[in-house]
Structure 1
Amino acid sequence: MNTLQIKGNWNIAKGKLKQKWADLTDDDLNYVEGKEDELVGRIQKRTGQAREDIEKAIKESNDCGC
């Protein structure tokens, strides 16, 4: 998988996460680059959802079948 494919997959995942949690900003989602725990924390802060639910949604958004 090349860099362009990875970026495309991440853009798809970001779109799915924004659909699920509309309060997320691009800045929140850009936090994922090497900072998954901080991203989860930001989502928790904005949504009040449990860490396990957020991690499951992130995993599902990355399983796009691409």
Structure 2
Amino acid sequence: MNKDIAQGKWHQLSGSIQQKWGELTHDEITEMGGRFDKFYGKMQEKYGMSKDEAQDAFTKLRD
């Protein structure tokens, strides 16, 4: 997958992320920039999830 495709997919997911987890701001999602480690860290910080829980939540959203 090239960089443009990955960025496009992240852009599509960012709207779903903000709908599902409203405490995440648009700026925070933009800052993540498709870096899943940043997403997991932010979920741990804002929602008290473990890394595994954050990974599972993201996988469910993506499917």
Instruction: Report the TM-score, using the length of structure 2 for normalisation.
Output: 0.64
Percent identity among equivalent residues? 29
Give the deviation of 1:24 after TM superposition. 0.2
In structure 2, give the amino acid aligned to 1:43.
Answer: M
Shift of residue 20 of structure 1? 1.7
Q: C-alpha displacement at 1:34, in angstroms?
A: 6.5
Computed over aligned residues only, the root mean square deviation of the Cα atoms, in angstroms, reads 2.4
For residue 27 of structure 2, what is the aligned residue in structure 1?
Answer: 27
Residue ranges of structure 2 left out of the alignment (5+ in a row): none
User: What residue ranges of structure 1 are gaps of 5+ in the alignment?
Assistant: none
What TM-score results when the alignment is normalised by the length of structure 1?
Answer: 0.62
